[in-house]
Amino acid sequence: MAARSCRVTIQDAEGVSHTVEVTAASLYEAVAHGLAAFRGNEWIADVGERFGVVKVSVAEVRVEHEVKLKDFTAWLERSGRSPREIIDRQKIRAILGLPITC
Protein backbone atom coordinates (compact mmCIF):
# COMPACT_ATOMS: atom_id res chain seq x y z
CA MET A 1 0.00 0.00 0.00
CA ALA A 2 1.37 3.42 -0.92
CA ALA A 3 2.06 5.97 1.78
CA ARG A 4 -0.29 8.93 1.80
CA SER A 5 -0.22 12.35 3.37
CA CYS A 6 -2.61 12.45 6.32
CA ARG A 7 -3.82 15.02 8.81
CA VAL A 8 -4.20 13.52 12.31
CA THR A 9 -6.29 15.42 14.89
CA ILE A 10 -6.87 14.62 18.56
CA GLN A 11 -8.51 16.49 21.39
CA ASP A 12 -6.58 16.75 24.66
CA ALA A 13 -7.95 16.46 28.21
CA GLU A 14 -8.62 20.21 28.25
CA GLY A 15 -10.77 20.03 25.11
CA VAL A 16 -8.17 21.59 22.79
CA SER A 17 -7.82 20.02 19.33
CA HIS A 18 -4.33 19.40 17.94
CA THR A 19 -3.47 18.46 14.35
CA VAL A 20 -0.28 17.10 12.82
CA GLU A 21 0.59 16.14 9.23
CA VAL A 22 2.06 12.65 8.80
CA THR A 23 2.80 10.22 5.98
CA ALA A 24 1.42 6.72 6.44
CA ALA A 25 0.52 3.60 4.47
CA SER A 26 -2.51 2.68 6.62
CA LEU A 27 -5.08 4.22 8.94
CA TYR A 28 -3.56 2.73 12.08
CA GLU A 29 -0.06 3.73 10.99
CA ALA A 30 -1.34 7.32 10.69
CA VAL A 31 -2.81 7.09 14.21
CA ALA A 32 0.52 5.77 15.54
CA HIS A 33 2.57 8.53 13.86
CA GLY A 34 0.12 11.13 15.18
CA LEU A 35 0.26 9.80 18.74
CA ALA A 36 4.06 9.64 18.57
CA ALA A 37 4.17 13.29 17.43
CA PHE A 38 1.79 14.41 20.19
CA ARG A 39 3.55 12.57 23.02
CA GLY A 40 5.96 14.70 24.93
CA ASN A 41 4.77 17.93 23.30
CA GLU A 42 4.58 20.53 26.05
CA TRP A 43 1.61 22.28 24.38
CA ILE A 44 -0.56 19.18 24.56
CA ALA A 45 -2.25 18.06 27.78
CA ASP A 46 -3.06 14.39 28.33
CA VAL A 47 -4.78 12.96 25.24
CA GLY A 48 -6.61 10.19 27.12
CA GLU A 49 -5.18 7.43 24.95
CA ARG A 50 -7.59 4.76 26.18
CA PHE A 51 -10.87 6.59 25.51
CA GLY A 52 -10.26 9.47 23.11
CA VAL A 53 -10.94 9.62 19.39
CA VAL A 54 -8.39 10.34 16.69
CA LYS A 55 -9.55 11.90 13.42
CA VAL A 56 -7.50 11.01 10.33
CA SER A 57 -7.96 12.89 7.09
CA VAL A 58 -6.27 11.47 3.98
CA ALA A 59 -4.97 14.06 1.51
CA GLU A 60 -5.41 12.67 -2.03
CA VAL A 61 -9.15 12.39 -2.03
CA ARG A 62 -9.77 13.85 1.39
CA VAL A 63 -11.47 11.13 3.45
CA GLU A 64 -11.80 11.43 7.20
CA HIS A 65 -11.80 8.55 9.65
CA GLU A 66 -12.35 8.49 13.39
CA VAL A 67 -10.73 5.74 15.42
CA LYS A 68 -11.61 5.10 19.03
CA LEU A 69 -8.32 4.80 20.85
CA LYS A 70 -9.60 1.75 22.73
CA ASP A 71 -10.18 0.05 19.33
CA PHE A 72 -6.70 1.07 18.16
CA THR A 73 -5.16 -0.30 21.37
CA ALA A 74 -7.17 -3.53 21.13
CA TRP A 75 -6.06 -3.99 17.49
CA LEU A 76 -2.45 -3.35 18.46
CA GLU A 77 -2.59 -5.90 21.29
CA ARG A 78 -4.23 -8.67 19.18
CA SER A 79 -2.15 -11.31 17.46
CA GLY A 80 -1.87 -10.99 13.70
CA ARG A 81 -3.74 -13.55 11.62
CA SER A 82 -1.56 -13.23 8.56
CA PRO A 83 2.11 -12.37 7.96
CA ARG A 84 1.03 -8.94 6.70
CA GLU A 85 -0.99 -8.20 9.88
CA ILE A 86 1.95 -9.30 12.03
CA ILE A 87 4.31 -6.98 10.12
CA ASP A 88 1.80 -4.09 10.27
CA ARG A 89 1.46 -4.42 14.05
CA GLN A 90 5.23 -4.69 14.52
CA LYS A 91 5.75 -1.55 12.42
CA ILE A 92 3.17 0.43 14.40
CA ARG A 93 4.52 -0.80 17.76
CA ALA A 94 7.98 0.39 16.61
CA ILE A 95 6.59 3.83 15.68
CA LEU A 96 5.15 4.12 19.20
CA GLY A 97 8.37 2.87 20.82
CA LEU A 98 6.64 -0.24 22.18
CA PRO A 99 8.24 -3.68 22.44
CA ILE A 100 7.90 -5.71 19.25
CA THR A 101 5.93 -8.92 19.77
CA CYS A 102 5.35 -11.83 17.40
pLDDT in tens, 55-82: 999 877 667 889 999 999 999 988 888 9
Tell whether the model's pLDDT for residue 102 goes beyond 70. no
CA angle 16, 27, 6 (to 5 degrees): 60
Q: What angle do CA 25, 47, 86 make, to 5 degrees?
A: 35
Radius of gyration of the chain measured on its C-alpha atoms:
13
Start-end of H helices in the chain: 27-38, 69-77, 83-95
Provide the percentage of residues in the chain whose pLDDT is more than 70. Answer: 90
Q: What is the pTM of this model?
A: 0.66
